[in-house]
Structure 1
Amino acid sequence: MTASNQWTFYMWVILAIYALLILFFVIRGALRTKNINDYALGNGFPSWIVGLSLAASMTSAATFVINPGFIALYGISGVISFGFVLPLSAFISLIVFTKGFAKYGSSVKAATMAQWIGNRYNNKSYALFFGIIALFLITFIVLINVGLTQVLSKSLNADPYFVLLGITIFVFGYMMFGGANSMVYTNTVQAIIMFVVAIILIGSGFDNFENGIAGFFEKLHAIDPNLTQTTNKSSYFFRDYFEIIFCQIIIGVAIVCQPHIITKSLMLKNPKKINLFLASGIGFMFVYFLVVIAGLYARIYFPDLTFNGNKLKMDEIIPIYVVTKFSVGVGLLIVIGLISAGLSTLESLIQSLSITITSDVLEPLFGDKIKNNSISINRGVIVILAIISFFISWDQINYPNLSVAIFAQNGVYAYFSAAFVPVLFGTFLKDVSVRTVFIASIVAIVTHFSIYYFKITPYMKVPVQNPGISASIGIVVSVIVGYFLYKFGQNKK
């Protein structure tokens, strides 16, 4: 048992209200969804609302639940990496990329990442390729499923299997109908709740500063001296500045090249107000990313990383910290915020991935049979995604390789490693041949997986490999190869 009976009762009540609120927006959105394009992009939304949707989608259960667990294990080095280097790189990249992507996307009426790339390079095979490798994003769905299951199972004192089953049926079920017209508004509500919860979590350990910052560091140092170092030799992720800073800058710059992130700009009612969209999104995300410091508070709260005599798994640390640290009222609000963090990104992933599979994989392969029944086919795709993600998620709950984050990063990083060069070149260079970017994408994927699975470089010769290293090297190599081909190896149009 983790939560009290009082906590559990009120948790069920709040969940029921929260579910009804979501269903209200879903039904409202479904009534406005007439075709597959409505499902993908909606009917146009105010810039600040799309910005909040972006913030909620880009910061998921990983930001609020999984990443603070890394910090609880490894300390200040993780805060530097996940709390500052990665988000600042991502914010700069988001500003630079979004304007060009939105401008071109609007002109060619692209609804998905694969369509943008296919239209930009005038090549249907390349679009199909990106539709297929988008399946890597299932790993991200799995991460969020696991994070939500950990939070809810601890809050409800429920069997994780049935919690995961309930999440899968409910979320994938309602995402079969509303699409963008409901998702943007549910994301907005979720973003506001997440902001309040982020402030609470960031302030939840202020009592540890009664003797100032030095006193706080002394508490961490007494638990483990590695926790107060800017590098952590005992970790698998923060061993030196190459891993903490260089790799995270590369990952942060490339991370925006995911379909549920960069395509948000295509939903704007007025594309000219893109600055307001970026300002509202980045403003909220800046606060969200600081939540990782709650991992330091959790480590002081659980100095030996045990609870009731049981060793805590990394993905359990924050859920149990919330359930045991806070009063019932505040704790329940935080749990709803953690759920919102997961659902907002999960909704965006289901929406973008299902559309990609339907429009960019099945339709090119089977033609009008898909096009004439696209809404129904898309719902069938969502059902299949639900089944696949459920079984993989259950396996990750029971047999994680340190954390489900490792599994998810390996897949997600492979996708945006491949997407980085075509988006970069397509936004800033002219007359780029499809051969150039296609080769660069293949190089990125092959390099990433080769380094990871064949354990190339000393960083990989450890029990738990860091996908950020293999992906960042893959991105750098693909940029070099792509630019070389662009300058010397392609036939200019």
Structure 2
Amino acid sequence: MDMIPVIFKYFFMLLYVGSTFYLSYIGMKKTKDLKGFAIGNKDMSPLLVGVTMAASISSTATFVINPGFVYNHGLSAYLHYGVAATLGIIAALVTLSKGFRKLGAESGSLTIPDWIRHRYGSKMLALFFAILNLFSIAFIVLILIGCASITAQLFGISKTLALTLGLVFTFSYVLMGGTYAHAYTNSLQGILMIVVACILFVSGWEYWQSGFVNELKSVGENFASMYNPEPFNDKTPLYYSFFSVFASGFIITFALMFQPHILTKVLYIKEEKDVNKFLITTLVVGFTFSLVLFVGFYARFAGLEISNQDDTVGIYITQIYSQSLGGKCLLAFVAVTLLAAGMSTLDGILVSLSAMVVNDIYMPFTNSQDGMSKFGLALSRYVLIGIGLVAFILALNPPPLVGIFAQQGVYALAAASFAPIVIGVLSKRKIHYSIMFTAAFLAVGIHFYLNLFAGVTNPSVSSSIAMLISMGVTLVLLAATHKKSEA
């Protein structure tokens, strides 16, 4: 009987790996050039794209890392990630999707830097954003470490071996099929993630029956408070005010939709009439995924002592599902699905970054169209291998809290993209690229200064402040140039 969970664990893992490679093979047959690798051939269902988008947004951060913040900081962290962030996603997608898709379709854009080049007419501005997008490697490191932690606990192997296996697996199937592999495998991963999100939410049903608010208060007054004033790592608190909990959560998540692997999803859609179906699917599936954040509460209510908050989900599911035969089988299913959650975002980032390096960094210096040929497709795959090696080296010796490390890098990219994309979509006037270069450079500088030197520990706060200042300066410059042109 003890062998049944072990057999089930390996069987389900092999089934998942086999299904993923099969879907990647199907995608490979449709991938003929760099355009097909980057955004497909616009023949995907809006429902499929919606599930792909939701899975890309809700990855290891949602399923593995962020519940650890809820475990440590309580209600304030949940309001930040579960409420404010959800509203930010809704606002960004509803406000910008149609306009971004329309301009991208008209110009034939493949990446966000490519979209910026067409919008503002500057190759140098696009190159600047392509380099900034390399900050996404910090998020790749987060996903790799989160997946390695789950794999190591599930199969009893070292984290280094788990990290190596995860890297080889993901890069193998992405190399095969690009965007189609990403979208098709995400549909499988998304379905698994929906099931597991519901299972994990229901796993703490006893705490709802006994009174969820009472459980919060039993942990501590600050844990149950909307704003938690407790210091973080002997520094300033993370979620201590309206701005740090709600405003920054909304603003930063709004801007995170501009990551290279997220907003470009709308470019997969052929007809504008399909955008609404895509949006509804994304929002419903994404809300279901956010239920996983409650694991942070459940782990604290269960009295689990967790020294490294990034291990919260892994320790919790091991604790509650390892007591019976059925529970051990369910544990294997949940653990493999948590790995799938990480892969669902990792493959999207890899496709976007490799296409971006070829299309926005390599091609502008060659003045050729090689990027659109089979050579461009091959080069994007070589770039993919290079990105993987860099991420692997960083993941071997990560910082103590990989969630904060990833936020520092990715939130810098979000801050830089905020003004150029929002104004680029909502404004119809011609805007000189120098204004957007100033906005992006200023946002990155302010974010890093506040976070690294001015004592603003929460990266979402420093990034949000940077975005607000950057947008304010941009609007002033736009108003000044408008008056000058009228004169």
For Structure 1 versus Structure 2, the TM-score category normalised by the shorter chain is over 0.9
Give the secondary-structure state (helix, strand or coil) at the position aligned to 1:275. Answer: helix
Alignment of 1:115 with 2:114, yes or no, is yes
Aligned residue in 2 for 1:390: 392
Paired with 2:208 and 2:469, the residues of 1 have a C-alpha distance of: 45
Aligned residue in 2 for 1:346: 346
Aligned residue in 1 for 2:285: 284
Aligned residue in 2 for 1:298: 299
Preserved contact between residue 432 and residue 492 of structure 1 (Cα < 8 Å): no
Paired with 1:223 and 1:5, the residues of 2 have a C-alpha distance of: 38
Q: How many residues align?
A: 470
Give the secondary-structure state (helix, strand or coil) at the position aligned to 1:329. Answer: helix
Q: 1:492 to 1:294 in 2, by over 3 A?
A: farther
Aligned residue in 1 for 2:334: 334
What are the ranges of 5 or more consecutive residues in structure 1 without an aligned counterpart?
307-311
Read off the aligned partner of 1:313 and give its amino acid letter: N
Read off the aligned partner of 1:248 and give its amino acid letter: G
Paired with 2:312 and 2:152, the residues of 1 have a C-alpha distance of: 13
Paired with 2:297 and 2:470, the residues of 1 have a C-alpha distance of: 37
Aligned residue in 1 for 2:324: none
Alignment of 1:254 with 2:255, yes or no, is yes
Read off the aligned partner of 2:221 and give its amino acid letter: P
1:370 shift after superposition: 5.3
Aligned residue in 2 for 1:185: 184
Paired with 1:302 and 1:113, the residues of 2 have a C-alpha distance of: 45
Q: C-alpha root-mean-square deviation of aligned residues, in Å?
A: 1.7
Paired with 1:328 and 1:64, the residues of 2 have a C-alpha distance of: 19
Preserved contact between residue 92 and residue 257 of structure 2 (Cα < 8 Å): yes
Preserved contact between residue 99 and residue 425 of structure 2 (Cα < 8 Å): yes
Q: String of CA shifts for 1:393-417, please: whole Å, max 9, x gaps.
A: 1211xx41xx211000011111111
Alignment of 1:187-202 (within 5 A): 187-202=186-201
1:369 shift after superposition: 8.9
Aligned residue in 1 for 2:214: 218
Aligned residue in 2 for 1:309: none
Paired with 1:272 and 1:56, the residues of 2 have a C-alpha distance of: 22
Aligned residue in 1 for 2:381: 379
Give the secondary-structure state (helix, strand or coil) at the position aligned to 2:411. Answer: helix
Q: String of CA shifts for 1:184-203, please: whole Å, max 9, x gaps.
A: 11111111111111111111
Alignment of 1:39-438 (within 5 A): 39-44=37-42, 45-211=44-210, 213=211, 216-234=212-230, 235=232, 236-303=237-304, 305-306=305-306, 312-326=307-321, 327-368=327-368, 371=371, 373-396=375-398, 399-400=399-400, 403-429=401-427, 430-438=429-437
1:120 shift after superposition: 0.7
Q: 1:247 to 1:34 in 2, by over 3 A?
A: same
1:150 shift after superposition: 1.0
Preserved contact between residue 173 and residue 181 of structure 2 (Cα < 8 Å): no
Q: TM-score, normalised by structure 2?
A: 0.93
Read off the aligned partner of 1:451 and give its amino acid letter: L
1:209 shift after superposition: 2.8
1:262 shift after superposition: 0.6
Paired with 1:269 and 1:122, the residues of 2 have a C-alpha distance of: 24
What are the ranges of 5 or more consecutive residues in structure 2 without an aligned counterpart?
322-326
Q: TM-score, normalised by structure 1?
A: 0.92
Preserved contact between residue 362 and residue 370 of structure 1 (Cα < 8 Å): no
Q: 1:39 to 1:144 in 2, by over 3 A?
A: same
1:367 shift after superposition: 3.9
Read off the aligned partner of 2:309 and give its amino acid letter: M
Give the secondary-structure state (helix, strand or coil) at the position aligned to 1:260. Answer: coil
| Deviates further, 166-175 or 327-336 | 327-336
Preserved contact between residue 24 and residue 184 of structure 2 (Cα < 8 Å): no
Read off the aligned partner of 1:108 and give its amino acid letter: S
Read off the aligned partner of 1:365 and give its amino acid letter: F
Q: 1:8 to 1:405 in 2, by over 3 A?
A: farther
1:5 shift after superposition: 6.7
Give the secondary-structure state (helix, strand or coil) at the position aligned to 2:333. Answer: helix
Give the secondary-structure state (helix, strand or coil) at the position aligned to 1:471. Answer: helix
Read off the aligned partner of 1:351 and give its amino acid letter: V
Preserved contact between residue 104 and residue 115 of structure 2 (Cα < 8 Å): yes
Give the secondary-structure state (helix, strand or coil) at the position aligned to 2:299. Answer: helix
Q: String of CA shifts for 1:120-171, please: whole Å, max 9, x gaps.
A: 1111111111111110000011111111111111111111000000111111
**Match 1:472 to one of 459, 464, 467:** 464
1:173 shift after superposition: 2.1
Q: String of CA shifts for 1:238-264, please: whole Å, max 9, x gaps.
A: 112221012112112212111211110
Give the secondary-structure state (helix, strand or coil) at the position aligned to 1:227. Answer: coil
User: Percent of counterpart pairs with the same letter?
Assistant: 30
1:6 shift after superposition: 5.4
Aligned residue in 2 for 1:35: 33
